[in-house]
């Protein structure tokens, strides 16, 4: 289209230069302006946000085997985990029904970015580490970090007994260690052991299921991955007794693993929504707004005070403004954050549903969470007010 427009412009200009032609310079200028506008419109990318709204559903790339992050119960068909809550929250913000309008598509370690770049999925929310090379080299742009993790190692007790040097990975000299192919985990494993001159053999696996099978069979003495995944895997293996004698987890964290959502490059309107949905959940917990009280809090915050302004302007903005998010065609609803809270709660509630017993009130802080597979208290995943890293920029 753009090439045809340019040819038309050249022809029009040539005619304008011919003796006796009725085409004026104003005609040429007008044709140029029209052609430029048409060419620009053709070249403009369609926002994934508009595509999702037009389609009426969102395709979310997830895991299905990691309890606490992305887990599919094969018996009931129910999905759970922090990543699943994040998918539902984004869908709710876009005005979709998070219970029925999200299509979950498994995205393995080796194909997840291919599925994102090919538009097989709209957004990748699958324990994906934000790294320099991924941000710079892949067709991906990282949004909200919903979990700050680190790499750990799960070890068979019968291969390398625990209890020595605080269950240190330094005791794993000569171990066969399962690690996912094409992951940041591979490089971290090599760096950690090489820098400490500890011998090991890397056993490449396509996914967590293959690594688990090889750990159970004894082909691998240990399995390395995100600590959240190792904790979940230990719980599963020790619960079903798959490994006689049980397992232990090395005390070291081998890396920094900020896990978050990824969208396609040059898709800024949708990326902004994905990021600010997460920030909104964090902000809501900071403000004490929960899945139970959001409507009441909105009414109270937006009520006029004696000076004629909102009683709590910041909370009123969070709960009743689109904050400029969305596209010109599909701006977010003014109550988008209320729909997110209705769907999944604030960040603390989502964390509690993923890793704890689900009894957290959403306002009392990490120490109030009970029955946690992975405690939030004292970790990077606590709110910044508790010394953690979960921190949201101003919602205004």
Per-residue 3-state assignment (H helix, E strand, C coil) for 45-76: CCCHHHHHHHHCCEEEEECCEECCCEEECCCC
Adjacent-strand bridge partners of 71: 65, 80
The per-residue pLDDT for range 66-91, each reduced to its tens digit, is 889 999 999 999 999 999 999 999 99
Percent of the chain residues past pLDDT 90, beyond the cut: 71
The single residue listed with the structure tokens 């370690």 is: 109
Average pLDDT estimate for 150-166: 86
pLDDT of residue 165: 61
Q: How far apart are CA 69 and CA 260, in angstroms?
A: 11
Domain 151-255, second-level architecture: 3-Layer(aba) Sandwich (3.40)
Within 94-183, residue ranges assigned H as helices are 112-117, 132-137
Residues 6+ apart with CB under 8 A from 309: none
pLDDT of residue 337: 98
pLDDT of residue 32: 61
CA of 309: how far to CAs of 76, 105, 302, 324, in Å? 50, 46, 8, 21
Query: Is pLDDT at 26 greater than 80 in this prediction?
Result: no
**pLDDT band, very low/low/confident/very high, at 65 (cuts 50, 70, 90):** confident
Least confident of 21-30, 44-53, 280-289, 351-360: 21-30
393 burial type by CB count under 10 A (0-12 exposed, 13-18 middle, 19+ buried): exposed
pLDDT of residue 2: 46
* CATH class label, 51-148+259-386: alpha beta
- The pair of structure tokens assigned to 124 is 């990748």
Sheet with strand 257-263: strands edge to edge: 102-106, 58-62, 123-129, 257-263, 141-149
The per-residue pLDDT for range 113-157, each reduced to its tens digit, is 999 999 999 999 999 989 898 889 888 999 989 999 999 999 999
pLDDT of residue 43: 46
CATH 3.40.190.10 residue spans of the chain: 51-148+259-386, 151-255
Number of helices (H), then strands (E), in the chain:
14, 13
Nearest to 61 by CA among 319, 231, 297, 263: 263
The single residue listed with the structure tokens 């509630």 is: 349
């Amino acid at each position: 289209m753009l090439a045809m427009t340019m040819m038309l412009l050249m022809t029009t200009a040539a005619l304008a230069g011919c003796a006796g032609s009725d085409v004026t310079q104003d005609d040429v200028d007008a044709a140029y302006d029209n052609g430029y506008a048409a060419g620009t419109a053709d070249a403009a990318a369609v926002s994934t946000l508009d595509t999702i709204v037009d389609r009426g559903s969102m395709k979310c790339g997830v895991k299905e085997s990691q309890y606490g992050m992305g887990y599919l119960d094969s018996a009931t068909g129910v999905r759970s985990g922090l990543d699943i809550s994040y998918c539902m929250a984004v869908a709710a913000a876009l005005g979709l029904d998070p219970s029925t309008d999200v299509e979950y598509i498994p995205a393995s370690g080796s194909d997840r970015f291919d599925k994102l770049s090919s538009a097989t999925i709209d957004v990748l929310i699958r324990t994906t580490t934000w790294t320099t090379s991924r941000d710079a080299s892949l067709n991906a742009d990282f949004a909200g970090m919903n979990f700050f993790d680190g790499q750990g190692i799960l070890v068979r007790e019968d291969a390398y007994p625990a209890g020595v040097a605080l269950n240190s990975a330094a005791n794993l000299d000569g171990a066969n260690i399962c690690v996912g192919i094409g992951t940041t985990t591979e490089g971290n494993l090599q760096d950690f052991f090489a820098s400490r001159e500890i011998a090991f053999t890397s056993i490449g696996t396509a996914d967590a299921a293959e690594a688990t099978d090889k750990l159970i069979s004894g082909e691998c003495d240990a399995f390395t991955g995100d600590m959240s995944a190792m904790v979940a895997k230990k719980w599963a293996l020790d619960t079903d007794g798959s490994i006689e004698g049980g397992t232990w987890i090395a005390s070291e964290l081998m890396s920094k693993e900020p896990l978050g959502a990824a969208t396609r490059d040059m898709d800024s309107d949708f990326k902004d929504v994905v990021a600010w949905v997460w920030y909104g959940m964090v902000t809501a917990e900071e403000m004490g707004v929960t899945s139970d009280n959001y409507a009441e809090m909105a009414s109270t915050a937006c009520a006029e005070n004696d000076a004629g302004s909102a009683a709590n302007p910041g909370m009123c903005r969070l709960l009743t403004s689109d904050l400029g998010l969305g596209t010109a065609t599909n701006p977010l609803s003014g109550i988008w954050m209320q729909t997110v809270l209705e769907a999944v709660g604030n960040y603390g509630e989502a964390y509690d549903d993923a890793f704890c017993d689900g009894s957290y009130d959403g306002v009392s802080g990490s120490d109030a969470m009970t029955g946690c597979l992975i405690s939030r208290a004292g970790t990077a995943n606590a709110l910044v007010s508790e010394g953690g890293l979960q921190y949201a920029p101003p919602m205004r």
